[in-house]
Amino acid sequence: MNCKNTLRILAASLLFPASLLASPGPETEALYQQHCASCHGSDRLGGMGPALLPENLSRLKKPEAETTIRSGRPATQMPAFADVLGSESITALADYIYRPPASPATWGQAEIHDSHLLPHPQGTLPDEPVYEADMMNLFLVVEIGDHHVTLLDGDRMEPIHRFPSRYALHGGPKYSPDGRYVYFGSRDGWITKYDLYNLKVVAEVRAGINMRNIAVSADGKYVMAANYLPHTLVLFEATNLELMDIIPVENDAGDSSRGSAVYAAPPRDSFIAALKDIPEAWEITVRDGEASIRRMQIDTLLDDFFFDPGYKHVIGAARDGKRGYVINLDTGNTVAKLPLPGMPHLGSGITWEYQGTRVMATPHFRTGAVSIIDMDNWEVIKTLETQGPGFFMRSHENSRYAWVDVFFGPNKDKVHVIDKQTLKIVKTLQPAPGKVAAHVEFDRYGEKLLLSIWDKDGAVIVYDADTLEEEKRIPMNKPSGKYNVWNKINYEEGTSH
Ligand code: DHE
C-alpha cells in the first residue's frame, strides 16, 4: 500500500461521524454484555450475529426487534430469550440497540485487516468443477429467509448445492469475468468470495459497518465496496480480498457523504459511484494499484444508477422522485432531464431494440407505471399503467417479453408480462395468491426464466419464456434475487449488471 493510500485510510478512520451519545442505564448495558455481546460484539458492531446499531436496524421496526429477542429467529443461531428475560428487560434491550453507541464506532484499516479471513488462498484449490453442469448456465438464488444461497443447474433447473451466507445479503452478487468466482455483499459490510468450482468460501473481509453494495472491475482484478457507515468506498484486490485503499467520500469542501452504490463500467475500465449526500457522481479509475477520482458535479442529489449499453451515459434518479437525469460520462454534463414522477427504480431498468431504436424501461417505486424511454433523444415514449408500484424488471435479448412485478400494495402477488414490440401488457400472472411474486432472471438462452415467491414458504417458479407456462416450482426460503452466470458476465441487455 502506498503512502497516499495510507493517508486516505487514516483520514477515513477519523472521518466517522460522532453521533449524539446516548446514556442507557448501566443495567441494560450489563444485560447486553451478558446476553448479546458474544454474538453481536461488545461494541454492537456484529460478530457471528449482525451489527446492532441504529443505522443497521433501520429496516427493522422496534416491535419486530422485541419479538426477535423474545422468540428468536428460526433457522439461525438467534435463541429465544422469553424464558430468560422479563418483558421489561426485553423492551429495554430493544430500546438500547436503537440508540447510538456511547463511543463512535470506527471501521478503518485496522478493523478491515483484522476481519480478513483467507481459508483458501488463490491457487490452492483444484481448477476443475467438482460437479457436472454447464458452468455458464448456473444460477445463484439468494434466500433471505434463512440467509442461504442455492446454486442451481440452469439446464436441468435442479439445485446443485445450498450453503449459508452472511446475514442479510443485499444487491446482486458479482461474478469474476470467467464465472468461476462470485462475490457476495451483505448489509453488515461482509464481502464473501466463493469458488463455484469447489463450492467453498475462499476469502472474506468486512469492508464497513453498513454497506450498500460491491462491484467487480471488468478485468476482475479489483472489488470495490460502497458504505453508508463509515462514509467510505473501499478497494480490494480481487484474488484474496486484500485491502488496497479506503477512499473517504467527501467533496472538495470536506463535506462527507454516505456512499450510495458503486458500479463497474466495463468499456470505461472504471467504477462509477453514486453519493447519497453530495450532488456529485464519481468515476474511479485504478491504475497500478492507485485509485484516482474524477468528480462530476450535478445540480441535484442523484441516486440509483442505470447505464446505457456503451456506458457513455448514466441515468440517475433525482431525490425529489420526479426526474431522471442523464449525464454524459465523458463530459460530466447533464444532457437531459426526464419527467419520471413516482420515483423510478432505474437500477432495475432494462433495454431493448424497438422500431430501430434502443429503448430503456424502468418501473416506479411510488406509482403503478413502467416508463419507456427512447435512448436516442431521451424522450419518454410510453408510460404503461400497471396494477401498482413495482421493484424489478427483467428480460433477455432472445425473449419477446419483459417482466415487471407489482411489489407494493394489494396486487403485490401479481406479475405483468409486457410485449417488447407492442409495448402492451399481454398477460398478468398471480402464481401464489397473497404472496409477493417478484424478480425474474432468464437462463443464458432466454428460453426459461425463474420467478421468486418471496415467502418463508416460498419457491422459485420455472416458466417457459415463450409460452409463459409454468414448468415447475422449487421450494425455497424467501428467495430474492437470482443471477445467471452467462447473463451477468456478458452484461446481457435484459438483466441487471
Ligand atoms: Fe435493493 C439491488 C438499493 C431495498 C433487494 N438495491 C440494489 C442495488 C441498490 C439497491 C443500489 C444495486 C446494487 C447491486 O446490485 O450492486 N435497495 C436499495 C435501496 O436503497 C432500498 C430501496 C432501501 C434500502 O434499505 O437499502 C433497497 N432491496 C431493497 C429491499 O427491500 C429488497 C427488496 C430486499 C432486500 O434484500 O433488502 C432489495 N436490491 C434487492 C435485490 C437487488 C438489489 C434482490 C439485486 C437486484 C438484481 O437483480 O441485481
Asked if 110 and 46 sit in the same domain, the reply is no
pLDDT digit string (tens) for 308-354?
999 999 999 999 999 999 999 999 999 999 999 999 999 999 999 99
Give the residue from 242, 273, 297 where a domain finishes. 297
SS3 1: coil
In this prediction the pTM is 0.90
Asked if 9 and 48 sit in the same domain, the reply is no
Residue 302 has a CB neighbour count (10 Å cut-off) of 27
Pocket test for ligand 1, best of 58, 61, 170 (most atoms within 8 A of CB): 170
Asked if 225 and 261 sit in the same domain, the reply is yes
Output the average pLDDT for the chain.
93
- The CA distance from 294 to 304, in Å, is 19
Determine contact, residues 390/405, Cβ cutoff 8 Å. Answer: yes
Residue 421 lies in a domain: no
Asked if 205 and 235 sit in the same domain, the reply is yes
Confidence class for position 12, pLDDT limits 50, 70, 90: very low
State the average pLDDT over residues 228-246. 97
At residue 420, φ and ψ (nearest 5 deg) are: -70, -15
State the average pLDDT over residues 79-84. 92
The pLDDT of residue 17 is: 37
Residue 74 lies in a domain: yes
Asked if 69 and 111 sit in the same domain, the reply is no
Confidence class for position 104, pLDDT limits 50, 70, 90: confident
Give the residue from 47, 72, 97 where a domain finishes. 97
Give the residue from 43, 76, 97 where a domain finishes. 97
The pLDDT of residue 1 is: 46
Q: Count the domains in the chain.
A: 2
The pLDDT of residue 15 is: 38
CA 340, distance to chain mean position in Å, is 23
Q: How far does the centroid of ligand 1 lie from the alpha carbon of residue 128, in Å?
A: 33
Residue 472 lies in a domain: no
Closest CA to 298 of 309, 282, 284: 282
Contacts for 339 with CB less than 8 Å, ≥ 6 apart: 322, 323, 380
Residue 271 lies in a domain: yes
The pLDDT of residue 24 is: 63
Atom of ligand 1 lying closest to residue 170 CA: 36
Q: What range defines the domain where residue 36 resides?
A: 20-97
Determine contact, residues 51/41, Cβ cutoff 8 Å. Answer: yes
Asked if 81 and 225 sit in the same domain, the reply is no
Residue 253 has a CB neighbour count (10 Å cut-off) of 6
Confidence class for position 484, pLDDT limits 50, 70, 90: very high
- The CA distance from 46 to 69, in Å, is 16
The CATH number covering residue 41 comes to: 1.10.760.10
Q: Would the CB of 389 count as within 6 Å of ligand 1? A: no
pLDDT exceeds cutoff 90 at 73? no
Atom of ligand 1 lying closest to residue 59 CA: 25
The CATH number covering residue 2 comes to: 2.140.10.20
Residue 194 lies in a domain: yes
Kindly give the residue spans of alpha helices, DSSP state H, lying in 353-439.
Answer: none
- The CA distance from 207 to 236, in Å, is 9
Q: Would the CB of 241 count as within 6 Å of ligand 1? A: no
Asked if 62 and 207 sit in the same domain, the reply is no
Q: How far does the centroid of ligand 1 lie from the alpha carbon of residue 171, in Å?
A: 5
Output the CA–CA distances (angstroms, integers) from residue 182 to 119, 294, 427, 460, in the order listed: 16, 28, 34, 21
pLDDT digit string (tens) for 263-317?
999 999 999 999 999 999 999 999 988 999 999 999 999 999 999 999 999 999 9
Q: How far does the centroid of ligand 1 lie from the alpha carbon of residue 114, in Å?
A: 28
pLDDT digit string (tens) for 421-439?
999 999 999 999 999 999 9
Residue 321 lies in a domain: no
Kindly report the protein residue whose alpha carbon is nearest to atom 44 of ligand 1: 481
Asked if 186 and 81 sit in the same domain, the reply is no
pLDDT exceeds cutoff 60 at 2? no
Asked if 73 and 192 sit in the same domain, the reply is no
pLDDT exceeds cutoff 60 at 14? no
Q: How far does the centroid of ligand 1 lie from the alpha carbon of residue 89, in Å?
A: 34
State the average pLDDT over residues 230-259. 97
Residue 212 lies in a domain: yes
Asked if 58 and 166 sit in the same domain, the reply is no
Determine contact, residues 125/200, Cβ cutoff 8 Å. Answer: yes
State the average pLDDT over residues 107-132. 98
Asked if 248 and 194 sit in the same domain, the reply is yes
- The CA distance from 108 to 29, in Å, is 25
3-state DSSP of 19-82: CCCCCCCHHHHHHHHHHCHHHHCCCCCCCCCCCCCCCCCCCCCHHHHHHHHHHCCCCCCCCCCC
The pLDDT of residue 55 is: 82
Percentage with pLDDT > 90 across the chain: 86
- The CA distance from 310 to 267, in Å, is 7
The pLDDT of residue 385 is: 98
Kindly report the protein residue whose alpha carbon is nearest to atom 42 of ligand 1: 171
The pLDDT of residue 11 is: 42
Q: How far does the centroid of ligand 1 lie from the alpha carbon of residue 29, in Å?
A: 33
Q: Would the CB of 347 count as within 6 Å of ligand 1? A: yes
Closest CA to 164 of 144, 151, 184, 148: 148
Contacts for 254 with CB less than 8 Å, ≥ 6 apart: none
Residue 323 lies in a domain: no
311, three cell numbers = 456506458
Confidence class for position 10, pLDDT limits 50, 70, 90: very low
39 burial type by CB count under 10 A (0-12 exposed, 13-18 middle, 19+ buried)? middle
Asked if 5 and 26 sit in the same domain, the reply is no
397 burial type by CB count under 10 A (0-12 exposed, 13-18 middle, 19+ buried)? middle
Residue linked to cell 469492508: 207
